[in-house]
Chain A
Amino acid sequence: MSDAPGTTVVAGRGAPPAKTALRPAWPPRPRTYLWIAGSVLLLALPFYLDRFWLQAGLFAMAAAIGAIGINMLTGSTGQLSMGHAFFLAVGAYGYCAFAGDGGDELTGLGLPTAVAAVLAVALAGLAGGLFSPIAGRLRGAYLGIATLALIFIGQHVLFNAHDLTGGFNGRDVPPLNILGFRFDDSELVVAAIPFGSAEKLWYAGLVLLAGCALFARGVLRGRPGRAMNVIRDHRIAAGVMGVPVARYRAAAFVLSSMYAGLAGVLLALVFQRTVPDYFGMVLSLEYLAMIVIGGLGSVAGAVVGAAFVSLLPQVLTRYSDALPLVAESGTGGVAPGEAARYLYGAAVVAVVLFLPGGLIRLVTRRTAPPKHPDKPTPGTPGPSGEER
């Protein structure tokens, strides 16, 4: 606010475009080195970690994909969804149904597994699309409650549509097979390390996660993301700015469902068996915990939160004997799963109180543009200052 209005107003339309501050491509920023080091580390991990940790990591990757999806919906568009587990289930069971060959007396179309995976994601998107007339009209807690219904419907179907889901016992997941490369335990030795399903899926998971994260980032930083954010922050202004609010709400819901579907497919492949119990309320709440802990509205935050929430129980399980107050499952003490839930429950409270913006804020705080302390900001509205 330093330049005089008189000159700038007259300059108006013919003003020359100022030079955009483009960063030279070389030398790369320290951040680039961090990314390279991190990628190399992730790529090398299967050569060093045992199956337990690889599976834990794969859960985290699947959870991260799902969390990115729900973060686009809840974090970026401001629509509370408690039904994310339902769409994960659609993805997981959809994959089984499309890929299954009917050998276990359950419905199976026997499609190539890669096609089945794509179809399962599309099916989850379709399920989200069917729900989107509701999602486009409800908001806040009301949408949360409506999506809650999906969980109960989903659970009912999963337990009772025996031919499709295998009922209480669930069904086996056909291993992924892309152009003859099988992601199962068939022997494959790479650099003297036997590669089983976990090792192979690790790379598939990394590729999928990277692709999903980049796509989400592009969406959120581009035109759709700006529209989604204004729907969250100022719904009325969104319409006035020309954003078709209901259509964008529905689209965010569909996209988020497709991410959930893909997470479901990956989870099924890692588990190698899908059981209905897993896709309940608790899973939905875990996903909400992930994005709150990691950082609402941020792709990196979703990944960090997903890693935190899904790795914590595994860490506690593995080291339960070394930790105070955590006992082996079934011995009367606090089981690792429970302890993990207490911990991330506490983490949610701590983040909401002390770190609004999530764990990711710890990383970005240093790089964020500095606030200008010389210019006070009277009347800065809070996040709820939408309408009086």
Chain B
Amino acid sequence: MTAVPALEVTGLTVRFAGLTALDAVDFRVAPGTVHAVIGPNGAGKSTCFNVLSGVYRAASGSVRLGDEELTGLPPHRIAALGVARTFQNLALPPTATVADSLLLGRHRLTRTGFVAAGLRLPSALREERRHRERVREIAQFVGLGDALDRPAGSLPYGAQKLAELARALCMEPSLLLLDEPVAGMTADERRRTAAVIAGVRDSLGISIVLVEHDMGVVMRLADTVTVLDFGRRIADGTPAAVQNDPAVVRAYLGEDAEEPS
């Protein structure tokens, strides 16, 4: 794998018709680290992800991945630079098999076009075989090895979220954006997913940006944390430092509270 570039977000501002969803947000994700973006509902976390992946346009500010400027690029160009993401609400076709969904993750790494696929040219078949093998490896990596041939919609919710994570991994990303990867999961599924994410960090060495409400998972996985509230950055630092920041406690629990949950 090529060197993982750093992600540098500076002065990122997003407006929707008068509403400022993100207001001059800065943060930096060092190569190979896990960075969590947390904050109360409506703080702008998902908006931030949507800008990083090119779904929304920034009003101003810059997002740099290594030497590349990401703002202004369409989503597929950003994906081509090695940025993969999962969605807060599943974006997994329910009737397609897990294998097909994961193969979609290989889209940017494969070449087969309409003619080659339609005529089943040897090059297309070879490519398909090779990438199916890699897909199988990745599915085993996240623990979905025996679910490959099942329609994604027939899996339990937690497994579907894992399948989406696997699909993002299939893009062989250098930056992985995970939007609430353990939301809606049972305690057991949370543990498994956290283990998978830790495994990704340890064995692949890629950068991960994580939006998550589950503080246990954030504290366990994150190297650095950015806290957003109403689109503004209110804290930034190590999990322990952020946890005791009075501004963070206020944002989560109101003026008079003492401890974040």
Contacts and interface: CB of A to CB of B under 8 A. Distances in A.
A224 B137 contact: no
B154 interface: yes
B157 A227 contact: no
Contacts of B112: 222-224
Given A242-B171, A378-B157, A5 B196 contact: yes
Contact of B195 (A9, A215, A218): A9
Contacts of B84: 240-241
Given A223-B110, A239-B75, A3 B143 contact: yes
18 contacts: A5-B196, A5-B199, A8-B141, A214-B118, A218-B120, A219-B118, A224-B117, A240-B76, A240-B79, A241-B108, A242-B76, A242-B107, A245-B76, A372-B150, A378-B156, A380-B153, A380-B157, A385-B89
Contacts of A216: 118
A5 B158 CA distance: 13
B100 interface: yes
Nearest to A3: B143
Given A240-B53, A241-B107, A242-B171, A224 B143 contact: no
Contacts of B100: 226
Contacts of A222: 112, 116-118, 120, 124, 128
B146 to A, nearest CB: 7
Interface string B136-164: 11001111111101110111111110000
Contacts of A9: 141-143, 195-196, 198-199, 203
Interface residues of A, number: 57
B187 to A, nearest CB: 14
B117 A225 contact: yes
Contacts of B171: 241-242
Interface residues of B, number: 70
Interface string B77-100: 011100011010111111010001
A378 B157 CA distance: 6
Contact of A17 (B90, B118, B133, B196): B133
Q: Is the interface of B mostly helix, strand, loop or mixed?
A: helix
Contacts of A221: 117
A5 B192 contact: yes
Interface stretch (A163-171, A228-236, A333-341): A228-236
B93 to A, nearest CB: 4
A80 B114 CA distance: 20
A237 B118 contact: no
B203 A13 contact: yes
Interface string A241-256: 1111100000100010
A215 B124 CA distance: 13
A31 interface: no
Contact of A381 (B75, B94, B113, B119): B94
A302 B118 CA distance: 17
A15 B150 contact: no
Contact of A224 (B114, B119, B199): B114
Contacts of B225: none
A180 interface: no
Contact of A377 (B120, B153, B191): B153
A189 interface: no
A388 B91 CA distance: 11
A11 B136 contact: no
Contact of A240 (B55, B127, B146, B192): B55
A369 B159 contact: no
